[in-house]
Amino acid sequence: MKRIIFLMAIMALAIGQSVHAQIFDSLRVKEDAENHLKEAQNQMNEKTERAMRENAIHRVSKIEKETVKAFNERREMAKDQVEKKKEEFKAKLEAKREEVKTRLEEKREEVKKRLEGIKDSKKRKTAEHLYDALNKVNDRITKHFEKVTDKLTEAVERIEQRADKAAANGQDVAEVRAKIAEAKAAIEAARSSVQTQAGKVYEFQADNAQELKTDIQAERDRLRADLEAVKTSISLARDAAHESLKSLAKIPRVDELEVEDSETEIE
C-alpha cells in the first residue's frame, strides 16, 4: 500500500513538472514572439524616422538651393541695372560734351569778334585765354563729379547686396531699404546736376575794355556758383549713402551674414 502511494506521489510530481515545463515553454514562446514583434516595430519605426528625416533634409536643401538661386539671380539683375545706368549716364554726358565742344568753337569765334573792339591786343588774348580756361575748368570738375557719382552708386550697390544677404538670413531690412531708396534718388539728382552742368558754356559779352573786366569776373562767379550747386547735390547724395550704411550697421552681426554661392556647399 505504501509503495502504491509512493508511486502515485512520484507520478503526480512528474505530471506537475511536465505541466510546469509546458507552461514555462509557452510563456517563453510568447515572450520571444513579443520580442520579435517589438524588434520588428522598432526597425519599422527607425526606417520611417530615417525616411522622414531624409525627406525633410531633402526639402530643406531644395528650399535653400532655390533661395540661393533666387538671391544670386536678384543680385545679378541689380548689378546689371547699376551698370546699365552708369553706361546710360556716361553716354548722355559724352553726347552733352560733344554738343558743348561744337558750341564752344562757335562761341569762341563770337567772343573773338566782340573783342575786336578792344585795341589792347594783350587784353584780347587774356580774355580769349580766360574763356578757354573757364570752360576747361568746368569740363574737368564735371568729369570729377561724374566719377564721384559712379563711386557712390557702387557703394550703395554693395550696401544693397549686404542688405539682401541680411534679408535672406531672416533679418528685418525695411529701414535699410528705405534709406537705400533715398540714396539712389539723391544720386540720380546729383547725376542730373552734373549732366546739366556739363552742358553749360561760359562766355563774355563785353565788346569794350571798360566792361570786359566786369564781364570776366561775372562769368567766374557764375561758374563758381554753378559748381558749388553741383557739389551740394553730390554732398547730399554722399550723406544719403552714408545714412543707408548707418542703417545697415544696426542689423546684428550683419558683417557675418552670408549666402552660399554654390549648391554643392549647401549639400
**CA atoms of 70 and 93, how far apart (whole Å):** 35
Tell me which residue of 164, 185, 181 sits closest to 173, measured CA to CA: 164
**CA atoms of 185 and 242, how far apart (whole Å):** 14
HSE on the CB side for 213, CA within 13 Å?
2
Residue 89 and residue 149 in contact, taking contact as beta carbons nearer than 8 Å: yes
**CA atoms of 87 and 97, how far apart (whole Å):** 15
Q: Which three cell numbers stand for residue 64?
A: 535653400
Q: Which three cell numbers stand for residue 81?
A: 541695372
Q: Domain limits of the chain?
A: 79-266
190 contact partners, CB below 8 Å, separation of at least 6? 145, 149, 152, 230, 233, 234, 236, 237
**C-alpha 154 chain-centroid distance:** 10
Q: What is the pLDDT of residue 51?
A: 58
**CA atoms of 100 and 200, how far apart (whole Å):** 7
> Could you state, in chain order, the average pLDDT of each consecutive group of 10 residues for the chain (267 residues)?
51 49 51 59 62 49 54 70 77 82 85 82 86 94 95 93 86 93 96 94 84 90 97 97 94 66 36
Tell me which residue of 162, 182, 178 sits closest to 251, measured CA to CA: 162
- The SS3 assignment for 257 reads coil
Q: What is the pLDDT of residue 61?
A: 44
Q: What is the pLDDT of residue 254?
A: 65
Residue 152 and residue 238 in contact, taking contact as beta carbons nearer than 8 Å: yes
Name the helix (H) or strand (E) containing 111. helix 2-115
Q: What is the pLDDT of residue 204?
A: 85
**CA atoms of 224 and 204, how far apart (whole Å):** 15
What predicted TM-score, i.e. pTM, was given to this entire model? 0.66
Residue 145 and residue 230 in contact, taking contact as beta carbons nearer than 8 Å: yes
Residue 212 and residue 206 in contact, taking contact as beta carbons nearer than 8 Å: yes
**CA atoms of 22 and 19, how far apart (whole Å):** 5
User: How big, in percent rounded to 5, are the helix, strand and coil portions of the chain?
Assistant: 90, 0, 10
The DSSP call for residue 25 is H
Q: What is the pLDDT of residue 59?
A: 44
